[in-house]
Amino acid sequence: MSRLTDLLRQLRAIEPGLARRLETEIAALADRRAFGLNFERHSSEAGEPIHPGLVSTGKIELGGDKPFHAVINAENEHALRALLFTHRGRVDCIYLDPPYNTGAKDWKYNNHYVADDDRYRHSKWLSFMERRLLLARELLNPADSVLIVTIDEKEYLRLGLLLEQTFPDGRMQMVSSVINPAGAGRAAEFARTDEYIFFVRIGRSRVLADQRQEERRPVTWDTLRRSDIASRRGTAKGGPSQFFPIYVDRRTGFIAGIGEPLPGDMPRTGAPVRPGCVAVFPVRPDGTEMNWGLTPDAARNRLRQGYLRAGRRTAGAPQEYAIGYLTGGIVSDIEAGHVEVTGRAPDGSVVAGYVTGRLVMPTTAWNRPSHDAQRFGTEILKDLLPGRRFPFPKSLYAVEDCLRHFLADKPAAVVVDFFAGSGTTTHATFRLNRQDGGRRTSIAITNNEVAEGEQAGLRARGLHPGDPQWEARGICEHITKPRTAAAATGRTPEGMPVKGDYRFTDEFPMAAGFEENIEFFTLTYDAGEFTRIAPLLWMRAGARGRRIEDVSAGWAVADSYGILADPGHTEDFIKALDDRVEVAFVVTEDDPLFESVAHALPAHVEPVHLRSFDL
């Protein structure tokens, strides 16, 4: 396909119309390529053949009819090759936090840790990354997608060149992001506070603007004195209960108390005296006695809440102090969260304003408190998995922001992370879905490597890779899967409610969990059985609803897809396809027969050609 892409690029400059028609035809042929579930033998780094399939190891169903997220325990290069059959050209975003190649024992090349003094450390890392990025390129939607890669100063120069080479048509920018405001101390060196994030935009992908809450319109304090002459003191409309003294402290200018209504025949001078205070009544500059807009009890309540205050003083005026209050509409807006209270004035009245945001494009230098990896990466992981540790997890909100800049307008986006680590990307996808009701799905891939520091202790107990006790301490089993489950359910692995609250864009208790569906898988390299292939077909069809596990009858139809294993049942199969079915897998070695069945399918059903497999 890369050679075809190059030729089409040349043709676009000469005959753009013809180039577009050819692209359409090539896309149609690509969609009908044989799905190949006999699985051609791919080679691993060691040259060994692999036969991809998936085995389910559990699921969480909290999202109703929403599609499922997937967490896959696998060596990521092998898993990516399997995903080429299910998601080639269908992924909207790939987020990666690869090994930074610091010289620590954080990654292996051909099953050996790469040491700091390895002469070929950089070239090994580049080779390791290139193979995976080439596969990532095949997964990304060429019309509109983004690749996001985080890195530090050890490899950012080489990574930038590799990305330019791998994605020659991509538009790349690098952002500097503060993840450790205190700085990582180093002897005789600058303390490092930031890392780098590469964004490679493909096709028409664009950066979406931030909604910055930078402008606030202060609330309006209305005068408490009624303005209409029909509401003056002594009238039926004014009533008998709203002419009362408000005592203002002469020294501070603050309201000190609220008195009782005066009888209709009592002059203002007859009101009780409060030492050190002036009794303020609702009186116009011309001396006309009016009424307040509240009764004494309502005014006292407003005062306690900070919604009543004394304003400007006019010496010698019939009403010496202006009295202001917040109307019922503004009070309701405060209670509903439409007005933000940012503090209190010295007199106890609220400082509040309507938040008005303006769309601002994000800059290439991020210094956001929410991106602190210790507070919002490590500490959040401690809340989710008490007693379990994972080195340097990303801030949940930093990953969320990265995704939001590209997926805020894609509620059904597919996100892949094949260096999933603790599972932050899946967790961030949950957050985005909750904020806008989205149905985005994530595919998280991580191996089950046991940390180097733990291996010696396990071996001392006579345990080895493959033993259940050994595997239980691996990254996927010990961290990724339980973290994903804890985030979704709001319960720790021990069954206790997760402590703490989410912050920033969407604040709510972590124990509330998320309305999401997740299934956990292990990649198998011996997919001769249909049950191992079934999850891949289900994922190819959107990973939602019931999964077809048996086609021994010759055909089967589930919620979103169908499988015609024996073309002799074509008529019955087509009759069973309702409006919910989007994909039909047709199993045959006969290309003309496949085309005949594809032509007979309903227009809304996508045909996918499968070569024969062991049923």
Q: In degrees rounded to 5, what are phi and psi of residue 131? A: -60, -40
> Measured between alpha carbons, how far is 291 from 272 in angstroms, rounded to an integer?
18
Q: Are 290 and 225 in contact (CB under 8 A)?
A: yes
Model confidence at 614: pLDDT above 50: no
pLDDT in the model for residue 403: 98
Model confidence at 528: pLDDT above 90: no
- pLDDT level of residue 107 (50, 70, 90 thresholds): low
pLDDT in the model for residue 25: 62
Average pLDDT, rounded, for the chain: 89
CB within 8 Å of 369: residues ≥ 6 apart: 181
Q: Mind giving me the DSSP string for 55-103?
A: EEEEEEE-STTSPEEEEEES-HHHHHHHHHHHHTTTBSEEEE------S
CB within 8 Å of 401: residues ≥ 6 apart: 366, 368, 370, 371
Average confidence (pLDDT) over 163-179: 97
Model confidence at 33: pLDDT above 80: no
Other Cβ atoms less than 10 A from the Cβ of 491: the count is: 16
Do the strands 53-61 and 68-73 form a parallel or antiparallel pair, or are they unpaired?
unpaired
Average confidence (pLDDT) over 262-271: 94
Q: Are 191 and 178 in contact (CB under 8 A)?
A: no
Model confidence at 30: pLDDT above 60: no
DSSP-derived 3-state class of residue 356: strand
Do the strands 171-178 and 194-203 form a parallel or antiparallel pair, or are they unpaired?
antiparallel
Side-chain-side CA neighbours of 166 within 13 Å: the count stands at: 23
> Measured between alpha carbons, how far is 318 from 455 in angstroms, rounded to an integer?
85
pLDDT in tens, 369-415: 999 999 999 999 999 999 999 989 999 999 999 999 999 999 999 99
| CA-based nearest residue to 390, from 318, 321, 309, 481 | 481
Alpha-carbon torsion angle 509, 416, 467, 386, nearest 10: -20
Burial class (CB in 10 A: 0-12, 13-18, 19+), 8: middle
Element at 139 (helix H, strand E)? helix 121-139
Burial class (CB in 10 A: 0-12, 13-18, 19+), 144: middle
Q: Are 580 and 560 in contact (CB under 8 A)?
A: yes
Q: Are 127 and 177 in contact (CB under 8 A)?
A: no
Least confidently predicted of 19-28, 54-63, 308-317: 19-28
pLDDT in tens, 272-286: 999 999 999 999 999
pLDDT in the model for residue 465: 87
Residue 454 corresponds to which tokens in the numbers above?
Answer: 């733990």
Least confidently predicted of 3-17, 409-423, 566-580: 3-17
- Angle at Cα 299 formed by Cα 296 and Cα 305, nearest 5°? 145
Element at 277 (helix H, strand E)? strand 277-280
Model confidence at 15: pLDDT above 50: yes
pTM over 0.75: no
> Measured between alpha carbons, how far is 203 from 240 in angstroms, rounded to an integer?
73
- pLDDT level of residue 127 (50, 70, 90 thresholds): very high
Burial class (CB in 10 A: 0-12, 13-18, 19+), 208: middle
> Measured between alpha carbons, how far is 382 from 487 in angstroms, rounded to an integer?
12
Task: Give me the percent of the chain exceeding a pLDDT of 70.
Answer: 89
b/e for 229-239, b at 16 or more Cβ within 10 A? eebbbeeeebe
- Three-state secondary structure string covering 242-260: CCCCEEEECCCCCEEEECC
Do the strands 93-96 and 144-151 form a parallel or antiparallel pair, or are they unpaired?
parallel
